[in-house]
Amino acid sequence: MITSTLRLSAVVVATLMLNLIIAPFAHAAPPDSGNFPAIAEALKPFIADNEIAGAVTLVATKDHILHLAAIGDADQAAHTPMKPDAIFWIASMTKPLTGTAILMLQDEQAEAEHRRSGREIHSRICQH
């Protein structure tokens, strides 16, 4: 249950991020979705097991979209296919995003503390 929830959360967060990333490329010509067949293949088991209804995937560089594709259904009951510009409902996603941000800040603080301690130790050793 937790694993499925985490996978679903990851897909939803990725989708949100994709929507934010796609916006600057909206004027670009549609990419060839056949460039990355392994992405669709990796998602098929999740769709087959009804862990997710569908997904939108994106691979981009700083300047170009290399892959943009939709797989599965946007609405399972109506069998409406997923579209690359689908809008997703993200419920209770602030908790995982906030938790991730807090962990990242703690990690950065720990690294800064480690560097500061290292400099202090180095200065003490070099003084003697």
Looking at the DSSP bridge assignments, the partners of residue 55 are: 71
Do residues 46 and 10 both lie within one domain? Answer: yes
Do residues 22 and 76 both lie within one domain? Answer: yes
pLDDT for position 96: 86
Distance CA 21, CA 6 (A): 22
Do residues 86 and 101 both lie within one domain? Answer: no
Domain that holds residue 41: 2-90
- Give this prediction's pTM: 0.49
> Count of CB atoms within 10 A of residue 52's CB?
19
> Three-state DSSP class for 1?
coil
Do residues 102 and 43 both lie within one domain? Answer: no
pLDDT for position 64: 87
Distance CA 88, CA 12 (A): 8
Q: What are phi and psi of 78, to 5 degrees?
A: -90, 0
For the chain, which residues score pLDDT lower than 50? 1
Do residues 39 and 73 both lie within one domain? Answer: yes
Do residues 39 and 96 both lie within one domain? Answer: no
Residue 82 tokens read as 């997923």
pLDDT for position 20: 56
Residue 4 tokens read as 């499925």
